[in-house]
Amino acid sequence: MRLHAQPVNVVSILGNDYSLKAPEGQEETLSQAVRMLNVALAETKRNYPTLIGDKLLVLAALNLCSKQIELQREHAQTLERTQAQIDATVDAISRTISDQ
């Protein structure tokens, strides 16, 4: 059995090229992540034009992490609301069945 070598993807972040290996089937996810990071870096640079290098990268990463945390909270709230709606529907169905 021959293992397939992961292809190397060269990506550019802050003008530097990085050779990265993405798991098979995850190449598009890597590409999207690089685009997202570069957009976040550009936005951060616009808001803080004096930041460079590591400080720019860290602030952009923190902004992305903050957005991720907010999305996770929103997702959890949506799940809770959906579960409450399902529970209410199941209760209504159970009452309807037991009333018959």
* Residues 6+ away with beta carbon under 8 Å from 59: 44, 48, 51
Overall pTM > 0.85:
no
The predicted structure's pLDDT at residue 50: 95
> Cβ(56)–Cβ(14) under 8 Å?
yes
Q: What is the pLDDT along the chain (100 residues), one digit of tens a residue?
A: 445 566 788 999 988 899 998 888 888 999 999 999 999 999 999 999 999 999 999 999 999 999 999 999 999 999 999 999 999 999 999 999 887 7
